[in-house]
């Protein structure tokens, strides 16, 4: 086994901080239009009208498909052409794009970017599969801020002038920075690492109006005493455990908005804020179209982008239906979302534990892929792909300690080394698995 790894093996991608934030200013009206567009469509009760509005975006998509070398070839092979795509229903006759295919053809799927597109290549996190290189234009990079404007309004949060946004980060590496954020009401963005000793002090100093984090960061936040309460907390959770949500609500009583996004597609849906509607994700239409009636997530990006995505399969399970929610939302809602391999392990006492509570352990180690399976109540198998021998000992030690913390007094861990391909069953590897015998 090799001890040196290519740079793309890191689970946490390296960040490049863009300091010329004043260049966001010309895009403020665009961000505002995106937020208004989302709000407008979320209030259209009539489905044919909503569809007709979304279909006006198809013209742009047809042009992008024509400019994409991958799609030109792929459509020709299938006897199709962009002109066939006139209505949303037509999509079902088009080929899907799997995550692995995008990873292989990452440089052929995008259209030829113009210089003013200011494209960058980012890598998706490798925690649920091999990283995918994703080409993004400037508006792709800024899109989340446009969506945040909409979400703030949706949550009824009232922001102070020049709001400060904190990205509370529990990833190893401890990266921190502060930049201006003109595109979000002339605010500022502070990345705070929960791993640093002065994280709590820094958080208190910044007093964020909006806080982004993952479940591990939120877990840390819930453990702190006397921290400022943001107006809105957002998490793009793989899986946000109900227990954590309840603890957080007691300690930091801010609305928690859970949204579903992938690096490849950007934000796709947000979880309804109603307490009696967990697991119902409202789709960010018209920016994206998630095909209804299927058992997996199939995404077509309608918003213009350098990377046209037609029937992209992020590898997540779920069913989309037209919905008139009691929260006031009209549109399409993703339910039965089994994305990111929601998995529960049972402790020896029979308590159910969210397996994703262990995800942070793996972010401390360079791996290509992994799978942790509970085979019996106290027995686990850990399959590793691309792990350095020297890394395995500390990883097992950390994992065993984490399992003890969660209620396994004497967890037994059997480690095996496998090829990455063996873990890539289906569209996306499932890093946590509970075998039927474990229950």
In the complex, the residues that contact another protein under the rule CB under 8 A are 66-67, 69, 72, 75-76, 78-84, 86, 90, 93, 112
CB of 77 to another protein, least distance (A): 11
Tell me which H or E stretch contains 245. helix 242-251
Nearer to another protein, 89 or 336 (CB): 89
In the complex with another protein, the residue whose CB is nearer, 81 or 311, is: 81
Q: Strand pairing partners for 190?
A: 166, 178
Q: Which CB sits closer to another protein, 75 or 346?
A: 75
Report which of 303, 239, 312, 229 is spatially closest to residue 271, judged by C-alpha positions. 239
Is the distance from CB of 368 to CB of 386 less than 8 angstroms?
yes
State in angstroms the smallest separation of the CB of 264 from another protein.
22
Alpha helices, DSSP H, located in 67-137:
69-77, 99-104
Say if CB 255 and CB 233 are below 8 A apart. Answer: yes
Q: Give Cβ neighbours of residue 150 (< 8 Å, ≥ 6 apart).
A: 34, 35, 38, 39, 284
CA dist 255 → 149, 251, 419 (Å): 15, 12, 42
Q: Tell me the helix, strand and coil percentages in the chain, rounded to 5.
A: 35, 25, 40
Supply the minimum distance, in Å, between the C-beta of residue 59 and another protein: 12
- Smallest gap from Cβ 304 to another protein, in A, equals 17
By beta-carbon proximity to another protein, the closer residue of 93 and 335 is 93
Smallest separation, CB 23 to another protein (Å): 22
Name which of 25 and 73 has its Cβ closer to another protein. Answer: 73
Judged by beta carbon, residue 79 or residue 350, the one nearer another protein is 79
132-136: long-range contacts at Cβ-Cβ below 8 A with a sequence spacing of 24 or more? 132/99, 132/102, 132/103, 132/106, 132/263, 132/264, 133/103, 133/106, 133/107, 134/102, 134/106, 134/263, 134/264, 134/307, 135/106, 135/107, 135/109, 135/110, 135/306, 135/307, 136/305, 136/306, 136/307
Q: Based on CB atoms, which residue is closest to another protein, 81 or 364?
A: 81
CB of 294 to another protein, least distance (A): 17
Alpha helices in 371-417 (DSSP H): 389-406
Question: Minimum distance between the CB of residue 310 and another protein, rounded to whole angstroms?
Answer: 15
Nearer to another protein, 79 or 161 (CB): 79
Q: Which residue's CB is nearer to another protein, number 65 or number 357?
A: 65
- Residue 65 CB, shortest distance to another protein, in Å, is 9
Task: Tell me whether residue 72 or residue 406 sits nearer to another protein (CB atom).
Answer: 72
Nearest alpha-carbon partner for 279 in 191, 193, 338: 338
- Collapsing DSSP to helix, strand or coil, 418 comes out as coil
Least separation in angstroms between residue 263's CB and another protein is 25
Peptide bond into 216 cis (omega under 30): no
Rounded to a whole number of angstroms, the minimum distance from the CB of residue 83 to another protein is: 5
CB of 437 to another protein, least distance (A): 43
Residue 304 burial by Cβ neighbours in a 10 Å radius (0-12, 13-18, 19+): middle
- Max Cα distance, the chain (Å): 62
Per DSSP, the residues of 157-211 read --PPSS-EEEEEE-STT---EEEEETTTTTEEEEEEETTSTTHHHHHHHH--SEE
- CA distance linking residue 344 with residue 122, whole number of Å: 31
CA distance 245 to 237: 11
Nearer to another protein among residue 90 and residue 419 (C-beta): 90
């Amino acid at each position: 086994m090799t001890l040196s790894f290519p740079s793309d093996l890191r689970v946490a991608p390296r960040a490049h901080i863009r300091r010329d934030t004043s260049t966001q200013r010309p895009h403020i009206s665009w961000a505002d239009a995106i937020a208004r567009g989302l709000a407008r469509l979320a209030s259209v009760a009539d489905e044919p009208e909503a569809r007709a509005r979304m279909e006006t975006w198809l013209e742009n998509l047809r042009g992008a498909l024509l400019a994409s070398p991958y799609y030109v070839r792929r459509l020709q092979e299938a006897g199709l052409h962009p002109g066939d795509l006139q209505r949303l229903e037509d999509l079902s006759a088009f080929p899907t794009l799997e995550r692995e295919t995008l990873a292989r053809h990452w440089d052929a799927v995008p259209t030829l970017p113009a210089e003013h597109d200011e494209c960058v290549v980012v890598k998706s996190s490798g925690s649920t599969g091999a990283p995918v290189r994703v080409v993004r234009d400037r508006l792709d990079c800024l899109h989340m801020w446009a969506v945040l404007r909409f979400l703030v309004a949706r949550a009824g949060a009232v922001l102070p002038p020049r709001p400060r946004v904190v990205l509370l980060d529990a990833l190893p590496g401890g990266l921190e920075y502060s930049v201006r954020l003109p595109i979000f009401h002339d605010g500022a963005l502070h990345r705070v690492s929960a791993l640093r000793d002065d994280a709590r002090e820094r958080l208190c100093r910044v007093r964020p109006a909006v806080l982004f984090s993952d479940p591990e960061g939120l877990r840390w936040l819930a453990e702190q005493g006397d921290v400022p309460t943001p107006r809105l907390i957002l998490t793009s959770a793989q899986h946000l455990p109900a227990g954590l949500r309840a603890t957080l609500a007691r300690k930091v009583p801010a609305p928690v908005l859970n949204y579903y996004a992938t690096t490849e597609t950007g934000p796709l849906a947000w979880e309804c804020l109603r307490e009696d509607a967990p697991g119902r994700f409202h789709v960010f239409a018209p920016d994206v179209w998630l095909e209804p009636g299927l058992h997996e997530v199939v995404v077509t990006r309608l918003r213009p982008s350098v990377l046209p995505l037609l029937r992209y399969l992020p590898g997540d399970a779920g069913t989309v239906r037209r919905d008139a929610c009691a929260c006031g939302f009209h549109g399409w809602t993703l339910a039965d979302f089994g994305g990111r391999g929601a998995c529960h392990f049972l402790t020896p006492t029979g308590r159910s534990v969210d397996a994703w509570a262990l995800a942070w352990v793996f972010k401390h180690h360079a791996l290509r892929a992994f799978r942790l399976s509970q085979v019996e109540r106290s027995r686990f198998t850990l399959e590793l792909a691309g792990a350095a021998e020297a890394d395995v000992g500390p990883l097992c030690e950390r994992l065993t300690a984490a399992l003890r913390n969660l209620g396994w007094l004497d967890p037994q861990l059997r480690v095996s080394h496998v090829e990455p391909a063996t873990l890539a069953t289906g569209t996306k590897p499932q890093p946590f698995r509970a075998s039927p015998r474990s229950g």
